[in-house]
Chains A and B, each alone.
Chain A
Amino acid sequence: MGVTSSQGDPLLEIVSTRSTSNDSDPAGDRGEHREVEPWFDELYRSQRANIVRLARLLTGSTAHAEDLAHEAFVRVYRRGSPIEEPVTFLRTVTVNVCRSWHRNAQRERLRMERHGPAADHVTPQARELDASLARLPYPERAVIVLRYWLDLSEVQIADALACRPGTVKSRHARALRKLNKEISR
């Protein structure tokens, strides 16, 4: 356990739950392997699939969901010490990572992916909802996903989105009005 150093390239630090004695790892000759703390390992293993799915719902991008989830774990990992409510914290970080992705990448992403194939194989109703979610501003989309997929309360959503519960309520009403208009077609 602990830190295993090598004499290799100092450009990369690789932190992994992988056994440090894995000689077959070709990255092992150019980086450091440091095993993560048990609390983080447990968090990663128990929440990874959920966080990937949350990222998918928050972004609509199957292609990027794993990457964004991983980025969220990296940010939690970098925080270091055990966190009081790690799942809640991880969820908030994921919301922020996806928000950042929306704000900074949306135009380029959409321009690049517009002509791509459909990734999910779901019912027409689910696909319709997916398309409707894509047309919501990110804060409204996040409220819908946190409320109806994670079943969070207004207060919990407000915490995750760093806004007031009243703001959550108005965003929820606005988003629902738009979705009802679409889904009820």
Chain B
Amino acid sequence: MTTTTDRSDRLPALLDELALATPVAEDDEPFVALTTLSSGTADDHRPRRVLAAAAACLVVGGVASVAWAFTSQDQPGDPQPAPAAQAPDPATPDTPPSRLDPTLYPMIDEPPLGLPVTARSDAYPGGSLRTEALIGQRAGAVVSDTVTISVHADPIEISPMAGRPPVATEVFGQPAMSYDYGQIDRPPLTHVTWGTGPYFVASGADPLVFFEVASADSLDATVDTDGRPQLAIGSLPEGYEVIVEPAIVGLPMRGATLSIGLDNYDISVSANNYVTWMAEVAPLRQVDVAGRVGWMSDTDDPGITQDVAWQVDESTYAYLKVNDGTDAAGALELAQQITFVDYDTWVARYLPEQQDLPRPTAPATTDPG
């Protein structure tokens, strides 16, 4: 029998240490609230975000334009600003997009237990740009031994988890580092990094098992002339297959969430495939969501949230998270009830709390297929 000692007496000092290590800009900076007014002039075609970001950078020392994303939120019930004139999207079929927005947004007509529904739209400023794919071993509807392969154009730095140092290893004969990201009450998670450019990260319960049977031609990475990493999956060892095709991750993007009840259910959409994330927590089980391929975490662990992820259209991925003890069948049933509409219809229906973004860049469609 193991016992644990009450260490709570150490918490105040450790929390204080963390708090005091937080950099805080000079206190003599003035308070500046950037708010949007509803009286935008029709003849002003300057993107609002440019003005806001410029002002934010001007008056809040050291705070990058991401500050704007958090300081310009409208409150629920506030008058909705007139849609900003949309700047022409520089993206053409020949140039990759500079941001990713979903084209469809979630609605639910009959929330469970009649719980209230609130909506929110978030702006994500973008992170480490990479191309990412998910592979795994399939046995019937269940996919396990998943490995997420990420390719970066620039060198990457992984923070050791809880002070655990990385372990030197090899991938395809190249020196590699393995980082143990195991968490309490969670399956193990390991990140393996290698490469001298492009730079690889493989994440999963034990990615090295995959590399023991894979050959160097399984993965091929390059960097485009525009600096974006590309990943091609070649021949895979027997039993492995591609679950999520390589796709760019880390561009600025919009996400939207419907929250049902206080913490009961969250339904999110974005242009990022949530399945890759889910695979880090548990094996995946393929399900049918209104005629589309969906995935659920395949686990009986009560500590792991029931969730369902599925692709709604080419640029929209949906994710349902259940927090109230609903079982897998109930979660899937709820997912089947979610419908999707274009951005304008969604905003009109839910009046979401949202950040002051330009309208979605991708053309909206009301046909989820």
Give complex CA distance A124, B159 in Å. Answer: 13
The majority secondary structure among interface residues of chain B is: mixed
User: Could you tell me which residues of chain B, from 42 to 67, have a CB within 8 Å of some CB in chain A?
Assistant: 44, 46, 48, 51-52, 54-55, 58-60, 62-63, 66-67
In the complex the two chains form, is B152's CB within 8 Å of A16's CB?
no
> Which residues of B have CB within 8 Å of A158?
none
**Chain A 161-181 interface 0/1 with B at a Cβ cutoff of 8 Å (1 = within):** 000000000000000111111
Q: How far is the CB of B340 from chain A (nearest CB, A)?
A: 18
Q: Interface centre among B120, B163, B272, B274, by most A CB within 10 Å?
A: B163
- Of A116, A117, A184, which is within 8 A of B5 by CB? A184
In the complex the two chains form, is B37's CB within 8 Å of A15's CB?
no
Give complex CA distance A30, B41 in Å. Answer: 13
> Which residues of B have CB within 8 Å of A30?
51
| Chain A residue at smallest Cβ distance from B249 | A111
| Chain B residue at smallest Cβ distance from A32 | B37
- Of A53, A110, A116, A124, which is within 8 A of B22 by CB? A53
How many interface residues does B have (CB within 8 Å)?
Answer: 90
Q: Give the B-binding residues of A (Cβ under 8 A).
A: 9-18, 25-27, 30-31, 36, 40-41, 44-45, 48-49, 52-54, 56-57, 62, 64-68, 70-71, 73-75, 77-78, 100, 103-105, 107-118, 120-132, 135, 144-145, 148-149, 151, 176-184
A-B contact pairs, 27 of them (CB 8 A): A12-B37, A13-B34, A13-B35, A13-B36, A14-B33, A15-B32, A17-B31, A52-B22, A53-B19, A67-B70, A71-B71, A71-B73, A104-B255, A108-B255, A111-B277, A112-B124, A114-B128, A115-B128, A115-B130, A116-B157, A122-B18, A144-B11, A149-B11, A176-B6, A179-B11, A181-B184, A184-B4
Q: Give the A-binding residues of B (Cβ under 8 A).
A: 4-8, 10-12, 14-25, 27-28, 30-37, 39-41, 44, 46, 48, 51-52, 54-55, 58-60, 62-63, 66-67, 69-71, 73, 75, 120, 122, 124, 126-128, 130, 150, 152, 156-163, 183-186, 191, 201, 249-250, 253, 255, 257, 259, 263, 266, 268, 270, 272, 274, 276-277, 319
